[in-house]
Amino acid sequence: MKKTNKIKTLAAATAMLSAISFSSSTMAAAAVVADDLLQDAGSWAQAVGEGSLKVIDPSLEKARVWVEGQTRFDNNWNNWYQGMARAAIGYSLSDRATIWAGYTWLPTHNVGKNYVSQQDVWPAFRYVLPTDFGSFTFRTMIESNFIKGNEVRVRPRQMVKFTHPLEFEPRLSLVTWDEFFIRTNSTQYGGKSGFDQNRAFAGLGWTFNKNIRTEAGYLNQYLDDATHTNNTMHHMIMGSLFFNF
């Protein structure tokens, strides 16, 4: 029985990895055919903190806070091109479902382009689904991107994440996720409506204790430009540190 369950578990994990790889390739092919695809390497690092506000007042047990910071390098690690600071407040509808309202600051300086200070406001919904072979996390965000001028770009994004603890060492997990972005409207600085980008990650996670967890692996980011012609594929090393309180 144990051997059968193990085979099923490994098969499910392999299927998930294949699905994410297929998703990334499919999203790239589904976008308007690129005249030029730029490929480079870089890295992302992030720290994420999340917890209940019951530390302030026991009556706020279901209220939550989320804070996050990221730094990003591209051009084969020769250029710091983006940072991110994110903060949100949330409410736990159940032990699986949480709603959020948040703000993101995204300073960006791409090679050969002017500095841009993008600001986003967004609602989000997250649902965690535990299963016998791992847990799935679904996160939906609808960003309103303030880039330049008075036009606001609306950009929904959908993430699906799978985490599978390994049988021989439960603290070690297989982690995969995919996130897909769409521009719902055309704006001068935010680009034409349609496909925006896809991110696909595969790596390993290590749980130190109930409050601290880390993940590291490969991130493939496919970006469509403002006119759906010249596109970029980033091959990234990504490291994440998660704090729960």
String of b and e for 90-126 (b: at least 16 CB within 10 Å)? beeeeeeebebebebebebeeeeeeeeebebebebeb
In angstroms, what CA-CA distances link 183 with 186, 192, 200? 7, 7, 18
- Looking at CATH, the fold of the domain delimited by 2-244 is given as Porin (2.40.160)
For 109-155, write each residue's pLDDT tens digit.
Answer: 988 888 999 999 999 999 999 999 999 999 999 999 999 888 999 99
Q: How confident is the model at residue 15 (pLDDT cuts 50, 70, 90)?
A: low
pLDDT at 34: 44
Q: Which of 1-5, 97-101, 127-131 has the lowest mean pLDDT?
A: 1-5
For 155-186, write each residue's pLDDT tens digit.
Answer: 999 999 999 999 999 999 999 999 999 999 99
Say what percent of the chain tops pLDDT 70. Answer: 86
Does the pLDDT at position 190 exceed 90?
yes
CA 169 remoteness from chain centre: 26
For 193-207, write each residue's pLDDT tens digit.
Answer: 999 999 999 999 999
Q: How confident is the model at residue 12 (pLDDT cuts 50, 70, 90)?
A: low
